[in-house]
């Protein structure tokens, strides 16, 4: 009933191919963006922005990057954090070398650098598939982490080995460094995420997305139809790494402020991979749902006992949080292996008919 598209006639292929062909979807998305843009900055506290919403947005972007590669093009990768590290370190290099450079341009350039690195580490995918490719991308993770640790040029020969974002302005507002408010950083992250999500959606609904999915679903048939597997896979690696690189740059500039190479460790790679798997492979919405699940749920679980008036010892509470979190991951994967996005899809199909049985 709620999702019934009866009466919404499409008179052109353009309307039928639109990003959100159903009016209800358009309203929901518009409402979400409006709330994120207008209401949230007023209502949310500094803590809420800094600890929840900013990392949620940035990790969503990284999850989109990995989802393009793993969910759409079918190439398993464990090197997400390494490509994010390239973004982070290059953002640091760019912004210290060219202090006048707009931070958005810095993000873009960092993403391009990460895309180049991703391209190189994507070359093994031409020969190997599946778990073996995952191991090969693991090499990227260790090699790049080691490089950023050992080559002082990357952290400007700073004795502590950390990279710190210097104060940066954009249109007269502090956007980088310790003086930038959480609200400003939140707005920038939101802007970048919205723009890049629209671009990703455009990619996956067009020829490029179809070529990725064709390679994923049946590579031999794809080749016989005329797709070139090498170019297709390498483009997937490059674009995926671009997204991860931008996310990594924002992770440093908008969230952490200062970091060592440890910030982009393999745990982050796994975290993003879990987001993609729990959210739903091959779904952009799933990337957001997965990021929300991984970022928000632990925070909710931490605060849940207090909310019901329960005071627990801090270590017991931490253990319970981990156990419940793990249990929920297993539960959701059993209920719907194709992720939260698939659950939403099923709900939508039910809503179309509700309250009638069919």
CB nearer to another protein: pick between 210 and 318: 210
**Binding of another protein at residue 194 (CB under 8 A)?**
no
**Binding of another protein at residue 202 (CB under 8 A)?**
yes
**Binding of another protein at residue 330 (CB under 8 A)?**
no
Report the alpha-carbon distance of residue 3 to residue 208 in Å, rounded: 29
Please state, as a whole number, how many other Cβ atoms lie within 10 Å of the Cβ of residue 326.
10
Name the strand (E) or helix (H) holding 175. Answer: strand 173-176
Report the alpha-carbon distance of residue 297 to residue 2 in Å, rounded: 28
Q: Which of 14, 159, 172, 309 touches another protein by CB under 8 A?
A: 14
- Among the listed residues 199, 157, 232, 171, the one whose alpha carbon sits nearest the alpha carbon of residue 64: 199
Q: Which of 5, 217, 267, 349 touches another protein by CB under 8 A?
A: 217
Kindly write down the DSSP assignment for every residue of 38-93, as one continuous string: IIHHHHS-HHIIIIIIHHHHHHHHHHHHHIIIIIIS----S-HHHHHHHHHHHHHH
CB nearer to another protein: pick between 17 and 156: 17
Contacting range for another protein; rule: CB under 8 A; set: 59-67, 90-98, 199-207, 320-328: 199-207
Kindly write down the DSSP assignment for every residue of 186-221, as one continuous string: HHHHHHHHHHHHHHHHHHHHSHHHHHHHHHHH-HHH
**Binding of another protein at residue 203 (CB under 8 A)?**
yes
Could you give the 3-state DSSP secondary structure of residue 226? coil
**Binding of another protein at residue 225 (CB under 8 A)?**
yes
**Binding of another protein at residue 213 (CB under 8 A)?**
yes
Report the alpha-carbon distance of residue 240 to residue 231 in Å, rounded: 14
Site string for another protein, 18-57 (x = CB under 8 A): ----------------------------------------
Report the alpha-carbon distance of residue 98 to residue 94 in Å, rounded: 6
CB 148 within 8 A of CB 125: no
CB nearer to another protein: pick between 53 and 214: 214
Q: Which of 221, 335, 346, 347 touches another protein by CB under 8 A?
A: 221
CB nearer to another protein: pick between 109 and 295: 109
Q: What is the DSSP letter of 252?
A: I
Contacting range for another protein; rule: CB under 8 A; set: 6-14, 32-40, 79-87, 327-335: 6-14
Strand 163-164, strand 258-259: pairing:
antiparallel
By rule CB under 8 A, what count of residues binds another protein? 31
Residue 181 beta carbon to another protein: minimum distance, rounded to whole angstroms: 31
CB nearer to another protein: pick between 12 and 160: 12
CB nearer to another protein: pick between 95 and 232: 232
Please report, as ranges, the residues that interact with another protein according to CB under 8 A.
12-14, 16-17, 199-200, 202-203, 206-208, 210-211, 213-214, 216-218, 220-228, 235, 239, 282
């Amino acid at each position: 009933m709620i999702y019934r598209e009866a009466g919404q006639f499409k008179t052109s292929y353009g309307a039928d191919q639109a990003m959100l062909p159903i009016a209800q979807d358009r309203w929901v998305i518009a409402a979400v963006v409006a709330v994120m843009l207008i209401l949230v900055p007023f209502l949310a506290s500094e803590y809420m922005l800094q600890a929840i919403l900013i990392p949620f947005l940035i990790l969503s972007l990284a999850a989109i990057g990995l989802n393009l590669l793993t969910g759409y093009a079918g190439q398993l990768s464990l090197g997400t954090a390494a490509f994010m590290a390239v973004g982070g370190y290059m953002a640091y290099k760019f912004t210290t070398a060219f202090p006048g450079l707009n931070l958005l341009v810095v993000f873009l350039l960092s993403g391009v650098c990460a895309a180049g690195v991703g391209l190189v580490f994507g070359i093994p995918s031409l020969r190997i598939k599946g778990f073996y490719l995952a191991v090969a991308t693991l090499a990227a993770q260790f090699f790049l982490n080691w490089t950023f640790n050992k080559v002082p040029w990357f952290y400007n020969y700073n004795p502590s080995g950390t990279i710190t974002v210097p104060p940066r302005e954009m249109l007269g507002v502090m956007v980088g460094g310790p003086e930038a408010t959480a609200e400003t950083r939140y707005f920038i992250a939101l802007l970048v995420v919205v723009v890049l999500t629209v671009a990703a959606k455009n990619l996956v609904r067009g020829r490029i997305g179809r070529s990725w999915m064709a390679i994923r679903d049946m590579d031999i048939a794809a080749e016989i139809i005329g797709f070139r597997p090498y170019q297709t896979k390498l483009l997937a690696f490059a674009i995926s790494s671009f997204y991860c690189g931008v996310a990594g740059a924002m992770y440093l500039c908008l969230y952490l402020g200062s970091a060592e190479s440890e910030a982009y460790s393999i745990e982050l790679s796994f975290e993003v991979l879990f987001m993609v798997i729990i959210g739903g492979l091959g779904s952009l919405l799933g990337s957001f749902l997965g990021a929300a699940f991984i970022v928000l749920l632990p925070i909710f679980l931490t605060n849940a006992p207090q909310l019901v008036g329960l005071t627990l010892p801090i270590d017991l509470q931490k253990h319970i949080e981990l156990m419940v979190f793990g249990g929920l991951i297993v539960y959701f994967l059993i209920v719907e292996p194709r992720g939260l996005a698939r659950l939403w899809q099923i709900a939508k199909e039910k809503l179309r008919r509700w309250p009638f049985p069919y």
